[in-house]
Chain A
Amino acid sequence: MSTPIVIPQLGNEIEEAQIDQWLKAVGEEVAAGELIAVISTPKVTLELEAPAAGVLREILIEADEIAKVGATIGVIGDA
């Protein structure tokens, strides 16, 4: 089973965020709730938690790139 890592809704006015940093590499194991990426907007920075336990299978949006709210930026698969 795979679980998408999604840019969450950020207030009523923010439409996109930059991926500042991936805290895990593709192939690394993660626990549910473990910090997996840092994303930022002009106003606020957020540490994203892994939505499920498993292995970071894919990074779809690399660090320093911009993603829309609701976009999938990576995928966690079964360990």
Chain B
Amino acid sequence: MTGARAETIDIAGRRLSFTRGPSVGPTILLLHGFGADRLSFALNEASFAGVGPTIAVDLPGHGDSDVEVGDGGVADFAEIIADFVAALNLGPCHIVGHSLGGAIALTLAAGRPDLVRSLFLLAPAGMGHGVDRAFLEDFSELADAEAAEALLQRTVSRPRLINRHLASRVRKHLEKPGARAGLKRVARRLLGLDLARDGTLEAIARQTLPRAVVWGREDDISPRDEVKLAALGAEIHVLAGVRHLPHVEAPAAVNRLATDFLKRAGAFRTWRG
């Protein structure tokens, strides 16, 4: 389906914007990365929709959702998403999360395992060797579309995957009152994020929750940490020729891995009753 209307919902006084695809069954909730928005899964949604209904939400401070980010921390975002899942009666749902969205998904699953059916994570923040400081700090300071294009091109293996329209859209978002301050706060919290140190990794490792991680082999925005990944007990897929946006750089491979995983994860939960 194309031309879906964005919907909005008030969660704890903050308006979140989202779209949902057709079909029935357990929801696949899509959580985007820092500085992105719900449209960053445009190359994946149609494929995921073959497994179950998708919902792509703009995180606080991103896309069409309110610019207010609370304390900007992953735990705060996870609480908002928990309320979102409960308000729309989506739980337990599959979560596909990229970078910041992946860290939120892990934090949510650690604290509210009743809301999560499986995790399919793309370069989840807090599970690598830290997120590139210059990238995080420069993002909220971007002055023009040219600077945005240059910075965003650092996230992909082939610069042509980032076009001028996208860069202009990012810059336009930053011009919204409060958007830069909000993203700066999120960036600051992301810099110190370590899901091994805060106990999230350990909490997930104890669960039977189906989980998979995809990471770009050439990711230098958030390089993967083999030790943390091994401790997570997930199936791991490292994609060659990919940097920080596997779902954009290698959509066919990611869609194949995700749909295969989601089908197995769904069956797993059904079998367990």
Contacts and interface: CB of A to CB of B under 8 A. Distances in A.
B1 to A, nearest CB: 6
Interface in A10-54: 10-15, 20-21, 38, 40-47, 49
Contact of B169 (A11, A21, A43, A69): A43
Given A42-B169, A43-B166, A45-B162, A11 B41 contact: yes
B162 A13 contact: no
Nearest to A70: B2
B19 A46 contact: no
A43 to B, nearest CB: 4
Nearest to A35: B158
Contacts of B134: none
Given A9-B46, A12-B19, A12-B45, A45 B160 contact: yes
Contact of B43 (A13, A15, A38, A46): A46
B42 A10 contact: yes
Contacts of A11: 2, 39, 41-43, 45-46, 56
Interface in B242-261: 248, 251-252
User: Chain B at the A interface: mostly helix, strand, loop or mixed?
Assistant: mixed
A41 B165 contact: yes
Nearest to A43: B39
Contacts of A49: 252
B272 to A, nearest CB: 31
B163 interface: yes
Contacts of A21: 160
15 contacts: A9-B2, A10-B42, A11-B39, A11-B42, A11-B43, A12-B19, A12-B54, A12-B56, A13-B4, A13-B39, A14-B2, A42-B166, A42-B169, A46-B43, A46-B251
